[in-house]
Every structure is written in C-alpha cells, then in structure tokens.
Structure 1
Amino acid sequence: MSASDAKVLSTEPLMIRDAKWTTLIKTTYTDPNGKERTWESAQRQTRPKNSLIDGVGIVAILEKSTGPELLLQKQFRPPIDKVTIEVPAGLVDEGESPETCALRELKEETGYVGETAGEGFGVSPVMFNDPGFCNTNLNMIHVTVDMSKPENKAPKPELEENEFIECFSVPLKDLYAQCRQLENEGFAIDARVGTLAEGIEIARRWKL
C-alpha cells in the first residue's frame, strides 16, 4: 500500500452549509483609484481563537554523518489528483505554540523526535500560502533531528486512520535536482518544498 494507490472517484459542487473546512467569501473593496471592486476567495474555518496562524510547515533536517538531509513526505492530495512531495505539516491546536505544534506533528507523522533551531531561526515570519485565493497561512518551523539518538534509530509514525504518509529524505545539496526528477516521475511538488529547493539553488549559483 502506498500513496499512489489512492485515486479520485468523482467530483461535485459542495454547498457552503455542508463545508467543514472552508467557505467561500465575496469581499468588496476599493482599489488605489477609489474604484469599488469585488474579490472571490476561500476562507479556512478551523483557525483557533487567538491564533495568528492556521498551521505549521516543518523544515526537519536529519543530521547524518554523510551530510544534512531534508525530511520529505509523499501524500495523495485529492484536489489535484496527484501524490505530492511535501514537508511535514499540520494545523495548530487551541492554545498551542507553533514550536510545540511542529514537534508534535513531526512525531505523529514521521516518528522522529527533533528540536527547534535557536538564534532567531526556529520560527519563520507568518507566510500566506496563496493570498490571491485564500487566507490560509503558517509559520515554517526549523527543526534538527539528531540521528544518533535511540528514539530516531527506528522511528514509528502515529498516523490517524485517514492518513497515508510515506517518509523519505533527500540530501540538502541535491534538493533542486531531486525536485526536477520527482516531477519527471509524475509527482507534484508542494510550493514549500519547491521554494526551499529554489533558495538553495539560488544561493549555490550566486555563491551567497
């Protein structure tokens, strides 16, 4: 059984009254010239009270003797009918900090136990996934995983009944090339993974 065994059977319109996770919004606003306009968008319904974010993405670096590797996942995503290459991620619970959420989700989805990075690098600025379409946002949390620790020798995910996640890792230095290869193999590249790969490649080419 793998993520690629899933498939879309049908699609149909969803009534707003039946939607659990999202709703549709029409916003009326004025442009810089004072002209009144409207905008259609989606809005997530699950953001906890007093939280600035919906969830977190996790940049989990596996510290291996052969060099740092980025922990990735394969998940089937029905909206695009493809298996997507992603970083671990999840929604925050009520009263939960982004760091706590990240370490919890990392353990549940992958089995790995990590530590958030310090020196002002642990939590990214708030990032909006697709601001022209929806209000969903997140923090990227930077986590290191010490592979010498016993708990990380044979990690065991704690997946929910509806979660089918396959974990693998890629050397950071090869991430851009691996994204190209995975796309050629038919996988979809999540924007967070692609942006990380682009950043590493830009830094390499411009010798930053």
Structure 2
Amino acid sequence: MSVSSAKILKTEPLSNGEAVWTKMVLKTYRDPLGTIRTWESAERTTRPKNSDIDGVGIVAILEKETGPEIILQKQYRPSVEAVCIEIPAGLIDEGETAEQCAVRELREETGYVGQASKTTPIMFNDPGFCNTNLRMVHVTIDMSLPENQNLKPELEENEFIEVFHVPLKDLWTKLVELEGEGCAIDARIATLAEGIELAKQFRL
C-alpha cells in the first residue's frame, strides 16, 4: 500500500447542513474608510469551546550523529488531489493544552514518544479564506527510550500516513525534489525550509 495510490472519484457541492467539519459564512464589516462590505469565508465547526486553537503542528527533530533531521509525513489530501508533504499535526481535544495535543498526535501518527519544549504564538493558516489556526509545538525525542526503537503508530481507520525524516540542512532541496515528483508541499514545512535558507543566506 502507498499513499500515492489514492485518487478522487467524484467532486460535488456540499451544503452547510451536510458538512461535518466546516461551514461557509458571509461576514459584513466596516472597512477603515467606513464603507460597509461583505466577505465570504470558511470556519471550522470542531474547535472545542474552551480552546483558542483548532489544533497543532509539530516540529519534531531527531538528533543524529550526522546532524539534526526533521520528522515529516506523506499523506493524500483530497482537497488538493495530491500527496502532501507535511509535519505531524492534529486537532486539539476538549481540555487539552497545545503541548499535550502535540505529544499525543506525534505518538499516534508516527509512534515517536516525545516531550514538548517550545510553543509558538497562534498562527492562522490562510486568514484571507478561513479562521483555521494552530500553534506550532517543538517536541524533543529521546532516542534512548525503548518505545522510540520499536515504533507503533496508532492510526485511525481513515488515516494513511507514511513517515520519513530529512536532514534539516537538506530540507529545501528535498522539498523541491518532492514537488518535482508531484507532491504538494504544506505551507508550514515550506515556510520552515525557507527560513533555514534565509538564515544560511544572511548568516543569522
């Protein structure tokens, strides 16, 4: 089985009444000059009541003798009709902190057991279109732990994820290569790769 074997069979309209995860809304607002305008946008319907985020993205680094490597995933995404290159990520549960969510999702999707070490401010994925947001959580992984030697992901029945890792120094080059193979690149990992390249260029 390969995630690349998935494909779209049909696309059709979906009403708000039929949708489970999202809804379309029309917002009326006043612009800075006082003109009343409208804006179409999408909203998630799954954010827990007491949470300020929908979910988390996870920056999980493996410390190796040859240098740090980042854990990535291949996952078919029907929205873009392609296999996406992503960092591990997931929706937050009621009562969870971003850090707890990150540790849980990393274990479920990859099998790696880690500890949260740093959490970013809230980030909005595509604010011109939707209100979806997340925090990026950095997770450290102790490779001496027995559970990190014998990985046991806990995927849901509709999850098909291929886990791999890439040296941080080669991340940009690898993403370009993967795009050339037909993969779609998630903005979170692409932005991280671009940041690394800028740091190299300007010797930050």
TM-score by length of 1: 0.97
2:195 matches 1:199: yes
User: Are the equivalent residues in 2 in contact too, given 1:64–1:147 (CA < 8 A)?
Assistant: no
Task: Kindly state the Cα deviation for residue 112 of structure 1 after the two structures are TM-superposed.
Answer: 0.2
Task: Kindly state the Cα deviation for residue 179 of structure 1 after the two structures are TM-superposed.
Answer: 0.8
In the alignment, the residues of structure 2 paired with residue 199 and residue 23 of structure 1 have an alpha-carbon distance, to the nearest angstrom, of 33
What do residues 70-100 of structure 1 show as CA deviations (whole Å, max 9, x unaligned)? 0000000001100000000000000100000
Whichever residue aligns with residue 13 of structure 1, its letter is P
Q: Which residue of 2 aligns with 1:169?
A: 165
Any gaps of 5 or more consecutive residues in structure 1?
Answer: none
User: Are the equivalent residues in 2 in contact too, given 1:48–1:94 (CA < 8 A)?
Assistant: yes
The 5 A counterparts of 1:84-103 are 84-103=84-103
Any gaps of 5 or more consecutive residues in structure 2?
Answer: none
The 5 A counterparts of 1:1-208 are 1-117=1-117, 122-208=118-204
Aligned length: 204
What do residues 25-67 of structure 1 show as CA deviations (whole Å, max 9, x unaligned)? 0000111110110000000000001100000000000112221
Whichever residue aligns with residue 133 of structure 1, its letter is F
Moved segments of 4+, more than 3 Å:
none
* % same residue: 67
Whichever residue aligns with residue 8 of structure 1, its letter is I
In the alignment, the residues of structure 1 paired with residue 169 and residue 150 of structure 2 have an alpha-carbon distance, to the nearest angstrom, of 24
In the alignment, the residues of structure 2 paired with residue 201 and residue 149 of structure 1 have an alpha-carbon distance, to the nearest angstrom, of 32
Task: Kindly state the Cα deviation for residue 188 of structure 1 after the two structures are TM-superposed.
Answer: 0.5
In the alignment, the residues of structure 2 paired with residue 202 and residue 143 of structure 1 have an alpha-carbon distance, to the nearest angstrom, of 23
CA RMSD of aligned residues (A): 0.7
Task: Kindly state the Cα deviation for residue 162 of structure 1 after the two structures are TM-superposed.
Answer: 0.4
Which region of structure 1 is more displaced relative to structure 2, 186-195 or 146-155? 146-155
Whichever residue aligns with residue 4 of structure 2, its letter is S
TM-score by length of 2: 0.99
Specify the SS of the correspondent of 1:24. Answer: strand
What do residues 133-153 of structure 1 show as CA deviations (whole Å, max 9, x unaligned)? 000000000011122322111
